[in-house]
């Protein structure tokens, strides 16, 4: 007997079968609906987290590392364990001259002593802000967008100019809205500095202070003006193209240990962060989140599909007499199987499609809320653009169809094993 999927009677028969027990059909379909809905929501949330983190780090130099001085963890050359040491200007110069694989090397001085209380004043306005001394190269590692003016340059470093660049939050506190701050003077811990730039950070990575609430001045100026001698609090560096920073980092640490009498096997004396390794760990984390999302989502979906299979078994049992009549009238096993599997696929696909559609609508709504939050000034929002790709949606629908077919296989095989005469006797 030929089966036409375009035959209205064929679909009417399926629909009549499913609506005989509406509550049972609804609850079974809801399991599939909820499974695909949760899969979409979790996949979209994972993508939003990935997007948010990636946006926060997207312009940061990934092939970079940060190094600072710690208390020593081992006694060495007559020095006791726990010795406090400092990186010096001479160490930076030595690394520049002896590590050719380094592309950018940027020492930093953090003015902790100058960052207490209302340390910055302009007229009747004042605030408490972090103070950093930097080289121009630091912007190559952790970039900024200049809203006004410029960043620190080499002439500032050489001449130890009393100039500064301020973050957007500093600008909001010390200046009127839309006031041009270039050339204006502010007092930092009793010393006057000329503002030459206002910046907005391009990344959300912060080392020690929020960049929006930070004042940057030339490294040499901070050293001399506030009596830091030749101390360097930490430095960052990047590797040249084609060279992993992981290959350079051990070499740099070894040189620092040799120059500062730190035991070669001392794992505590030199603090360091390999940004390249951190980025890799982050990428692995998001891969793990994606895999976990699919495992949990498919598990929930599978539970719903098992419910569909169970209801189809019940439907087959309830229609035993009807199937017997169909067999007696010449219906082939193929027709019986096709009808039952089609019912299963129809139920799973329809409920799954509705779950997919609702999940996408929820993600779109969440995306608009996140966007409005950012426009309102919440730049620290870690989520961004919760969505799923077209390929994810297509894969989800294919899985639904396949699972629906699998759910109908057991009931269908049971139906065709019935003998027509036995089915007709069933009441």
Q: What pLDDT score was predicted for residue 2?
A: 43
Mean pLDDT of 205-214: 80
Is residue 150 included in any domain, yes or no?
yes
Residue position matching structure tokens 């390249």: 276
Give the integer Cα–Cα distance in Å for 12 and 427.
24
Is residue 66 included in any domain, yes or no?
no
Are 382 and 238 members of one domain? no
Mean pLDDT of 241-253: 92
Is residue 63 included in any domain, yes or no?
no
Task: Name the pLDDT band for 423 (thresholds 50, 70, 90).
Answer: very low
Are 195 and 208 members of one domain? yes
Are 310 and 377 members of one domain? yes
Mean pLDDT of 31-37: 80
Give the integer Cα–Cα distance in Å for 376 and 379.
8
Are 294 and 209 members of one domain? no
**Residue spans of alpha helices (H) in 114-198:** 138-141, 154-159, 168-174
Q: Tell whether the model's pLDDT for residue 415 goes beyond 90.
A: no
Is residue 33 included in any domain, yes or no?
yes
Q: What pLDDT score was predicted for residue 326?
A: 58
Pick the last residue of a domain from 240, 268, 296: 268
Q: Tell whether the model's pLDDT for residue 273 goes beyond 80.
A: yes
Are 237 and 98 members of one domain? yes
Q: Report which of residues 187 and 24 the model is more confident about.
A: 187
Segment 126-173, tens digit of pLDDT: 999 999 999 999 999 988 899 999 999 999 999 999 999 999 999 999
Are 24 and 103 members of one domain? no
Task: Name the pLDDT band for 341 (thresholds 50, 70, 90).
Answer: confident
Give the integer Cα–Cα distance in Å for 200 and 211.
8
| Cα dihedral 216, 121, 163, 199 sign | positive
Pick the last residue of a domain from 210, 239, 268: 268
Domains: count for the chain = 3
Q: Tell whether the model's pLDDT for residue 13 goes beyond 70.
A: no
- DSSP output for 152-212: --HHHHHHT--EEEEEHHHHHHHS-TT---TT-EEEETTEEEEEEEEEEESS---SSS-GG
Is residue 173 included in any domain, yes or no?
yes
DSSP strand pairing (214-218 vs 130-134): parallel
Q: Report which of residues 148 and 373 the model is more confident about.
A: 148
Are 287 and 334 members of one domain? yes
Segment 291-337, tens digit of pLDDT: 888 788 777 777 777 776 666 666 666 555 555 555 555 556 666 66
Task: Name the pLDDT band for 1 (thresholds 50, 70, 90).
Answer: very low
Are 216 and 137 members of one domain? yes
Is residue 1 included in any domain, yes or no?
no
Domain of 205 in residue numbering reads as 112-225
Pick the last residue of a domain from 268, 296, 325: 268
Closest by CA position to 210, among listed 219, 201, 218: 201
Q: What pLDDT score was predicted for residue 42?
A: 84
Mean pLDDT (the chain) is 81
Q: What pLDDT score was predicted for residue 103?
A: 94
Are 387 and 293 members of one domain? yes
Q: Tell whether the model's pLDDT for residue 422 goes beyond 80.
A: no
Is residue 275 included in any domain, yes or no?
no
Q: What pLDDT score was predicted for residue 97?
A: 94
Give the integer Cα–Cα distance in Å for 221 and 213.
20
pTM over cut 0.85? no
Are 407 and 308 members of one domain? yes
Count the Cβ atoms, other than its own, within 10 Å of residue 41: 21
Is residue 64 included in any domain, yes or no?
no
DSSP strand pairing (185-188 vs 120-122): antiparallel
- DSSP output for 398-426: HHHHHHHHHHHHHHHHHHHHS-HHHHHH-
Are 154 and 240 members of one domain? no
Q: Report which of residues 72 and 316 the model is more confident about.
A: 72
- Report yes or no: 398 and 36 within 8 Å, Cβ to Cβ: no
Are 319 and 415 members of one domain? yes
């Amino acid at each position: 007997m030929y089966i036409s999927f375009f035959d209205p009677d064929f679909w009417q028969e399926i629909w009549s079968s499913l609506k005989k027990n509406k509550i049972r059909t609804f609850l079974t379909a809801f399991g599939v609906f909820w499974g695909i809905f949760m899969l979409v929501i979790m996949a979209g949330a994972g993508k939003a987290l990935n997007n948010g983190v990636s946006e926060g780090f997207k312009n940061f130099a990934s092939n970079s590392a940060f190094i600072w001085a710690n208390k020593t963890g081992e006694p060495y050359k007559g020095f006791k364990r726990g010795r406090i040491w400092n990186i010096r200007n001479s160490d930076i110069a030595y690394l520049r001259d002896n590590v050719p694989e380094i592309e950018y090397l940027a020492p930093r001085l953090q003015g902790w002593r100058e960052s207490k209380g209302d340390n910055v004043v302009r007229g009747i306005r004042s605030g408490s802000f972090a103070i950093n001394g930097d080289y121009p190269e630091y912007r190559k590692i952790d970039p900024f967008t200049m809203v006004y003016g410029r960043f620190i340059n080499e002439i500032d470093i050489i001449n130890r100019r009393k100039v500064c660049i301020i973050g957007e939050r500093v600008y909001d506190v010390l200046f009127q809205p839309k006031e041009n701050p270039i050339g204006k003077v502010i007092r930092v811990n009793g010393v006057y500095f000329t503002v030459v730039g206002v910046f907005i950070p391009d990344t959300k990575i912060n080392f020690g202070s929020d960049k929006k609430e930070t004042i940057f001045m030339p490294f040499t100026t901070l050293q001399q003006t506030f009596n830091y001698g030749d101390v360097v609090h930490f430095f960052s560096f990047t590797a040249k193209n084609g060279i992993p920073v992981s290959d350079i980092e051990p070499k740099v640490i070894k040189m620092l240990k040799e120059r500062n009498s730190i035991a070669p096997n001392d794992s505590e004396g030199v603090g360091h962060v390999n940004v390249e390794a951190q980025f890799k760990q982050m990428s692995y984390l998001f891969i793990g989140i994606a895999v976990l999302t699919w495992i949990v989502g498919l598990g929930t979906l599978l539970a719903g599909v098992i419910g569909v299979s169970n209801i189809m078994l019940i439907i087959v049992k309830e229609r035993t007499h009807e199937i017997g009549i169909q067999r007696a009238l010449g219906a082939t096993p193929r027709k019986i199987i096709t009808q039952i599997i089609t019912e299963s696929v129809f139920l799973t696909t329809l409920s799954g499609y509705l779950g997919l559609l609702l999940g996408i609508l929820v993600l779109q709504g969440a995306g608009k809320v996140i966007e409005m939050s950012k426009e309102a000034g919440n730049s620290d929002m870690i989520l961004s653009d919760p969505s799923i790709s077209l390929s994810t949606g297509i894969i989800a629908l294919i899985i639904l169809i396949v699972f629906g077919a699998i759910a109908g296989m057991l009931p269908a095989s049971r139906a065709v094993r019935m003998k027509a005469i036995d089915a007709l006797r069933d009441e």
